[in-house]
Structure 1
Amino acid sequence: MTSAAWVCAAVIPATPGTAHALQSQNASSPTPTPAPAQTNTSDTKQTVTGKASPADQNKPIVSNQEFESALPPLSDDINAPLEAMPTPTPTPSSTPAETTSLAQPSTTTGSSTQSQQSSPDGPITVAQPLPDEGELEKPLEPIATFDTQPPPTIEGVKQGKNTVIPYDTVIHGLDQVGLEGQFKDLSALEDGKGKAANATMISARAQSDKDLAVRLMQSVGYYDGTAITTIEPASDKNDNRVQVILTATPGKLYHLGTIKVSGDPTVPVGLVRKALPLKTGDPIDAIRVQAAEANVSLTLPEEGYPFFKLGERDILLDDSDYTGDYTLPYTLGVRASFGGFETTGKEAFSAKHIAVLARFKKGELYDSRKVDDLRKALVATGLFSTVSVEPKKTGEKGSDDTEYVNLMVRQRAGPPRTLAGELGYSTGEGIKLQGSWTNRNLFPPEGALILAGTAGSQEQGLSGTFRRSNAGKRDRTVSLTLSADHSNYDAYEAFTGTLAGRVSYDSTPIWQKRFTYAYGFELTATNEDTYNYSAGERQRKTYFIAALPLFAGWDTSDSLLNPTRGFRVKANVSPESAVKGGFRPYVRTMLETDGYLHVSDSLVLAGRVRVGSILGISRDDLPPSRRYYSGGGGSVRGYGYQQLGPIAPDGKPAGGRSLNEFSIEARYRFGNFGIVPFVDAGQSYESVYPKLSGLQFGAGIGGRYYTNFGPLRIDVATPLNPRPGDPKVALYISIGQAF
Structure 2
Amino acid sequence: MHFPEITCESHSRRSSRVRHLSVLSVSILALGWTASAGAQQVAPPAVVPTLPPATDEPIASPTLPPPEVQLPEVAPIIEDDEFDKAIPPISAGDDAELDRPLESIADFEKRQAAEAAKDSSNSGEATAEAQAPTIDGTAVPVLADGDAAEAIGDAPISDQELAAPLPPLDNFNVEPVVFAEAEEERGDASIAYSVKVNGLDPADDSTDVDLADLFGDLSALYGGDGKADNAAMIRARLSADGELMQRILASEGYYDAVVDTRIDRGERTEGQERQRRPITAVIDVKPGQRYTLADIIIDAAPTIPPNLIADNFPLSVGEPIVAQRIQGAEAAIALKLPEEGYPFANVGQRDILLDGATGDGVYTLPIDIGKRSRFGGIETTGDLAFDAEHVEVLARFKRGDLYDSRKVDDLRQALVATGLFATVAAEPQPTGESAGDGTEYVTMLVTQQAGPPRTIAASAGYGTGEGLRIEGSWTHRNFLPPEGALIFRGVAGTQEQGVGATLRRSNAGRRDRTFELVTEVTRSTYDAFNAITGRVGARVSYDSTPIWQKKFTYAYGAELIATREDDYDFVAGDRSYDFYTILGLTGQVGMDRTDSLLDPTKGFRVTALIQPEGSLAGRFSPYARARLDVSGYYPVTDSIVLAGRVRVGSILGAARERLAPSRRFYAGGGGSVRGFGYQELGPKDPNNDPIGGRSVNEAAFEARYRFGNFGVVGFVDAGQVYRGSTPDFSNLRFGAGIGARYYTNFGPMRFDIATPIGRKPGEARVSVYVSIGQAF
TM tier relative to shorter chain? 0.7 to 0.9
Do the aligned partners of residues 616 and 149 (structure 1) sit closer, same or farther apart at CA in structure 2, a change above 3 Å counting? farther
Alignment-derived partner of residue 54 in structure 1 = none
Alignment-derived partner of residue 532 in structure 1 = 569
Q: Is the 8 A contact 2:19 2:54 kept in 1?
A: no
Structure-2-length-normalised TM-score: 0.77
Distance (Å, rounded) in 2 between the aligned partners of 1:407 and 1:571? 40
Do the aligned partners of residues 432 and 150 (structure 1) sit closer, same or farther apart at CA in structure 2, a change above 3 Å counting? farther
Question: Which of 326, 333, 337 in structure 2 is aligned with 1:296?
Answer: 333
1:546 maps to amino acid: L
Q: Is the 8 A contact 1:363 1:399 kept in 2?
A: no
Do the aligned partners of residues 513 and 198 (structure 1) sit closer, same or farther apart at CA in structure 2, a change above 3 Å counting? same
Alignment-derived partner of residue 412 in structure 1 = 449
Alignment-derived partner of residue 166 in structure 1 = 192
- SS at 2:436 equivalent: coil
Do the aligned partners of residues 166 and 102 (structure 1) sit closer, same or farther apart at CA in structure 2, a change above 3 Å counting? farther
Structure-1-length-normalised TM-score: 0.81
1:163-202 matched pairs, under 5 angstroms = 163-178=189-204, 179-202=211-234
Do the aligned partners of residues 537 and 325 (structure 1) sit closer, same or farther apart at CA in structure 2, a change above 3 Å counting? same
Task: Count how many residue pairs are aligned between Structure 1 and Structure 2.
Answer: 650
1:42-441 matched pairs, under 5 angstroms = 63-64=56-57, 97=95, 155-158=181-184, 163-178=189-204, 179-237=211-269, 240-441=277-478
Distance (Å, rounded) in 2 between the aligned partners of 1:661 and 1:410? 50
**Residue 286 (structure 1) shift:** 1.0
1:365 maps to amino acid: L
Q: Is the 8 A contact 1:565 1:598 kept in 2?
A: yes
Q: Deviations over 1:370-397 (max 9, x none)?
A: 0000011011111112212111112222
1:226 maps to amino acid: V
Do the aligned partners of residues 316 and 103 (structure 1) sit closer, same or farther apart at CA in structure 2, a change above 3 Å counting? same
Question: Which of 505, 528, 532 in structure 2 is aligned with 1:491?
Answer: 528
2:254 maps to amino acid: Y
Do the aligned partners of residues 723 and 215 (structure 1) sit closer, same or farther apart at CA in structure 2, a change above 3 Å counting? same
Identical amino acids, percent of aligned pairs: 51
1:176 maps to amino acid: P
Q: Deviations over 1:599-619 (max 9, x none)?
A: 233322221111101111111
Q: Deviations over 1:606-642 (max 9, x none)?
A: 2111110111111111111110011111111111111
Distance (Å, rounded) in 2 between the aligned partners of 1:392 and 1:153? 82
Bigger mean CA offset, 548-557 vs 226-235? 226-235
Do the aligned partners of residues 98 and 303 (structure 1) sit closer, same or farther apart at CA in structure 2, a change above 3 Å counting? farther
Alignment-derived partner of residue 740 in structure 2 = 703
**Residue 175 (structure 1) shift:** 2.9
Alignment-derived partner of residue 450 in structure 1 = 487
Q: Deviations over 1:124-164 (max 9, x none)?
A: xxxxxxxxxxxxxxxxxxxx999999997894534575744
Do the aligned partners of residues 598 and 28 (structure 1) sit closer, same or farther apart at CA in structure 2, a change above 3 Å counting? closer
Q: Which has the higher strand share?
A: 1
1:651-666 matched pairs, under 5 angstroms = 651-666=688-703
Do the aligned partners of residues 193 and 317 (structure 1) sit closer, same or farther apart at CA in structure 2, a change above 3 Å counting? same
- SS at 1:449 equivalent: strand
Q: Deviations over 1:446-482 (max 9, x none)?
A: 0000000111121111100000100111000000001
Q: Is the 8 A contact 2:582 2:614 kept in 1?
A: yes
Bigger mean CA offset, 370-379 vs 309-318? 309-318
**Residue 575 (structure 1) shift:** 1.2
Bigger mean CA offset, 492-501 vs 644-653? 644-653
1:345 maps to amino acid: G
Alignment-derived partner of residue 470 in structure 1 = 507
Distance (Å, rounded) in 1 between the aligned partners of 2:54 and 2:546? 99
**Residue 309 (structure 1) shift:** 0.8
Question: Which of 668, 681, 685 in structure 2 is aligned with 1:648?
Answer: 685
Do the aligned partners of residues 99 and 637 (structure 1) sit closer, same or farther apart at CA in structure 2, a change above 3 Å counting? farther
Bigger mean CA offset, 600-609 vs 350-359? 600-609
Distance (Å, rounded) in 1 between the aligned partners of 2:175 and 2:553? 79
1:724 maps to amino acid: P
**Residue 193 (structure 1) shift:** 2.2
Q: Is the 8 A contact 1:62 1:98 kept in 2?
A: no
- SS at 1:181 equivalent: helix
Distance (Å, rounded) in 1 between the aligned partners of 2:749 and 2:173? 62
Alignment-derived partner of residue 585 in structure 2 = 548
Do the aligned partners of residues 651 and 209 (structure 1) sit closer, same or farther apart at CA in structure 2, a change above 3 Å counting? closer
**Residue 108 (structure 1) shift:** 10
**Residue 413 (structure 1) shift:** 1.4
Question: Which of 630, 637, 654 in structure 2 is aligned with 1:600?
Answer: 637
2:365 maps to amino acid: L
Alignment-derived partner of residue 141 in structure 1 = none
Alignment-derived partner of residue 693 in structure 1 = 730
Q: Deviations over 1:372-430 (max 9, x none)?
A: 00011011111112212111112222232212111122222111111111222211121
Q: Is the 8 A contact 1:11 1:22 kept in 2?
A: no
Distance (Å, rounded) in 2 between the aligned partners of 1:99 and 1:340? 106
- Indicate the structure (1 or 2) with the bigger Cα radius of gyration: 2
Structure 2: stretches of 5+ with no match in the other structure:
1-9, 39-50, 61-91, 112-169, 205-210, 271-275
Do the aligned partners of residues 255 and 648 (structure 1) sit closer, same or farther apart at CA in structure 2, a change above 3 Å counting? same
- SS at 1:722 equivalent: coil
Q: Is the 8 A contact 2:267 2:277 kept in 1?
A: no
Bigger mean CA offset, 262-271 vs 331-340? 262-271
